[in-house]
Structure 1
Amino acid sequence: MLELQIDKELQAWIDPLSTEEYALLEASILQDGCRDPLVVWGGYLLDGHNRYEICQKHGLSFSTFEKVGLVTKVDVKIWMIQNQMGKRNTTDFARTALALKLKPLLELRARERQAHGQTAPGRTLSLNSDEALIRTDDSIAKLAGVGRDTVRKVEKIIGKATPEVIAQVRAGEISINAAAKTVTPPRAVAAPAAEQTPAPSSSNEITVVPDAAPENFGPSPEEIAAAVRAEAEQLEYIRNLLASDDDPLALALADLKQKGLEISALRSQNAGHQNTINDQIRMIKSLRSRLAKLEGTV
């Protein structure tokens, strides 16, 4: 029987089968034989470690297929992950978890490309930059067939969730969003201040407690007004630029900047509306407090 070499480093890149999956595979091979060839690279086994083990255990024959076109171990590892993703792992979490194994390899390749000047002409890309991280996440998301936000959630789950939660999301018993929430610290909620009960009065005089100092609920009206004025001036400048410049690129950039300023202005208006709502909430609380005191004196 053909003896294959097993590289422990490469074998570690293959997710192990569950006890049930291994038993089903063994039963299938005992009944029908090892139908699919084992993939090798220079004598080393790349795909089919479980089938090889079962065939060795029961003295069964098998065939091999030599994988060509792989030069380095980085190439081999990337191929192994892509090969696994096309097989039994069907959930978004399982595919993304596999793809995330490629993250250090993708970063290594990016460093190699940069070292050989394979970035865009006239610029370099630092692997510590936000752009580099986004590009790596985009590559992983495309490989797994999910969004970049899903990649980051799965990465957080793998790094911080409990083994029980990881097992549940891997089995599809809970969603990725639900699993991610188990490792997201809840927002701190300030404890309500204890209200002081006024001392009993022998008369029917009503004591009005002054309202507490208002909380800081975002920008002040003056700050909002100043921001709106500045944005209005920039909008006017952009409109003049659009009216006088015929360069298509300049027009496109100006239009893009105008839309950004309009969005910023809407956000400022929204902040102003929120301040008004907060003022009304504080007024209602104050009126309720006074009403409760009035009812207590009746």
Structure 2
Amino acid sequence: MILTAFALLLAACGGSETATPAATPEAVEAPAPAESEAPAEVQKTEVQAPKPAGPQQLEVYTYRVINSFPHGTTDFTQGLFVADGALYETTGRIGQSALIRHDILGDTAPARRALPADIFGEGAVAVGDRIISLTWRDGIGLIHDLETFEPEGTFPLEGEGWGLTSDGERLIVSNGTNRLAFLDPETYQPTGSLTVSANGKPVPRLNELEYIDGEVWANIWQTDVIVRINPETGIVSGFIDLSGLYADNRDPRDNVLNGIAWDPESERLFVTGKNWPQIHEIEVIPAE
């Protein structure tokens, strides 16, 4: 039977709006964070995506591998991003969380810094000369120097932290549900939120995020699917099926796709997963 693109997307997200992921770290679907008390000068907005008049035609994409690079098989990838010509990574798990700079993009010196042993690291992004990263349930975000990895402070984080990216004007945060939150990149105060849907149905388990050419790309937790989201409406325009990228035997609960990095200067796209042996440079192409 031929499934529609939307049916494939629903299957990848668990099959229904109420599907519950397996109970492992990051696998429990988090409740949407409660609204925080923002300063009066910060106006928060809740965007309700308009529902399509009829069934939405989702674009379906696949991939072609261009290059593959070594990746630590004990690195539980939470975030992947490019800044200043280098590829950076954040990893998670208590006692194993770290910031990493890879040397696969050129002459950049590799570096690694462990996060505090009681911290469960999550997604990250570069803002100027800072690395802004999340923690899972620690209630804080972390600030490090981009070059030296020296800690520069923390900020309060409401609810769970999963994925993080930036559109150049605001931080965009996921928490494992179908909601994206927006934060001011200087004050870290909430400025709004957005629900993500396809054909009017919620798309849950949004995890690692990357901002690419005006879209938010998001891993769907415990799947080999990346969805492409309009950051103004929350509507999913299509999805990328990365099935087969890691074809060897792997733990379906832990060794999952989770890592998207886009280098706008070279227009190169990198993906990886938790404890995967490789980081892949891929080209996204329409599915036949």
After TM superposition, the score normalised by the length of structure 1 is 0.24
The structure whose Rg is larger is 1
Higher strand content, 1 or 2: 2
